[in-house]
Amino acid sequence: MVGGLIQALVALNNESYVPERWHQTLFTIAVVLSSVVFNTVLAVKLPLIEGVLLGLHLCGVFVVVIPLWVMAPRRPVDAALFDYTNVGGWDTTGLAALIGMVTPLNVLIGYDCTITLPKVIMWSVAPNACLGLLVILTLAFCSGNIDEVLQTRTGEPFVQIFYSATGSKAASSVMVAIVIILLISCCFSEVATASCQLWSFARDNGLPASSWLERVQPGWNIPLRAVVVSFVVVLLLSLINIGSTTALRSISSLGAVAILGSYLVTIGTLIWRRLFGAPLPSRRWSLGRYGLAINITAVCFVLPLFVFAFFPLTKEVDRETLNYASVMSVGVLFIALVYYVVRGRNLYVGPVALIEEDRS
């Protein structure tokens, strides 16, 4: 995503620029490499950097929103709020909206309640939801001509919205740059989350070469090897874009399916434990008596999105528009199952066993 935005920024300022897929790949590698640097060499400074980025996040919303409200032509209320466009050819607009909801769920990637303060995470959702609603309403009323926006040469509709509103490449570039910087900061958190999860799974002997991955190098207070492996995986995946954008989109869809599936499994088992199992072990933070209702609501929200994550964006599909997440999910599950049966079941020690051992 960030690589595509950098391309859009270049295209906005250089009309002779012709975007190439390998350009986006190089931008992506550069962003991930910077994330690795911030999670290793600059890990000690990361809390300070994230504090500065938090200030940019809060101020950046208004830097983007205010020029749009002041300078962009206003769409009528009926057009902004009740004029829906179903370009996917689905039978109903509601179905199209449900399929489109999978992409915005990426904003929930990066939360790690086991090592951070859950209350802070929960309270951060409320103000960000309000700011997100402000931005959505702003774009709805200030988007201008939708056809012109969708046909922009930059490849990113919101970049065209900024430029159409301000009429200035410099102002639009600043607004786009704020978005890019904030998305790069999200990459910092995602690399940290991915490497920590990789290290944790290796610690439990759930991966090949777990004994190598779980080691923390002397002098480093971070899972350096897991960070490096995460970078290599992203590097290899980004190279796929050079040959096929469809293949890369399919892998991205697989990521959404995996995340939603993990939510369903963890929350579902928690519901089962609350209803039929032994009392939950003591914990530092709890949802209290509202926990079961919140868990059930979460499953009811995530389950349809999990199903729609396998849908293509358009009703009429071909090789380029087909969503291959279903096929890839079956393949990944098959490989994981074979590994577990052949080797993993004899080595894997889950965190539940460790908790039970501590309690005894």
Span 168-184, pLDDT tens digits: 889 999 999 999 998 88
Alpha carbon distance 6, 3 (integer Å): 5
Average pLDDT, the chain: 82
Least confident range from 33-37, 114-118, 195-199, 318-322: namely: 114-118
Q: What are phi and psi of 343, to 5 degrees?
A: -135, -45
Alpha carbon distance 137, 115 (integer Å): 34
- Which has the higher per-residue pLDDT, 277 or 209? 209
Least confident range from 160-164, 227-231, 288-292, 355-359: namely: 355-359
Q: Under 8 Å CB-to-CB from 63, ≥6 apart: which residues?
A: 174, 175, 178
Alpha helices per DSSP H over the chain: 2-13, 21-39, 46-71, 77-82, 93-100, 118-142, 146-150, 157-166, 169-203, 210-213, 224-243, 245-276, 291-308, 325-339, 345-347, 351-359
Confidence band for 353, pLDDT divided at 50, 70 and 90: low
**3-state secondary structure (DSSP) of residue 322:** coil
Alpha carbon distance 177, 180 (integer Å): 5
Q: Are the C-beta atoms of 143 and 149 separated by less than 8 Å?
A: yes
Alpha carbon distance 117, 119 (integer Å): 6
Domain definitions of the chain by residue range: 1-73+108-243
The average pLDDT across 286-308 equals 88
* Structure tokens that stand for 188 in this block: 């910092």
pLDDT in tens, 251-286: 777 888 888 888 899 899 989 988 887 777 777 777
Select the highest-mean-pLDDT range: 17-21, 129-133, 294-298.
Answer: 294-298
The average pLDDT across 108-131 equals 65
Q: Are the C-beta atoms of 315 and 88 separated by less than 8 Å?
A: yes
Q: What is the pTM of this model?
A: 0.80
Please give the helix or strand (H or E) that residue 113 lies within, else none.
none
Alpha carbon distance 260, 262 (integer Å): 5
Which letter does DSSP use for residue 350 in this model?
-
Confidence band for 114, pLDDT divided at 50, 70 and 90: very low
Which letter does DSSP use for residue 116 in this model?
S
- Which has the higher per-residue pLDDT, 246 or 263? 263
Confidence band for 354, pLDDT divided at 50, 70 and 90: low
Alpha carbon distance 319, 169 (integer Å): 37
- Which has the higher per-residue pLDDT, 170 or 222? 170
Whole-number CA gyration radius for the chain: 22
The average pLDDT across 68-81 equals 85
The secondary structure of 192-226 as a DSSP string is HHHHHHHHHHHHTT-STTHHHHTPPPTT-SS-HHH
Q: Is the pLDDT of residue 249 over 80?
A: no
Confidence band for 134, pLDDT divided at 50, 70 and 90: very high
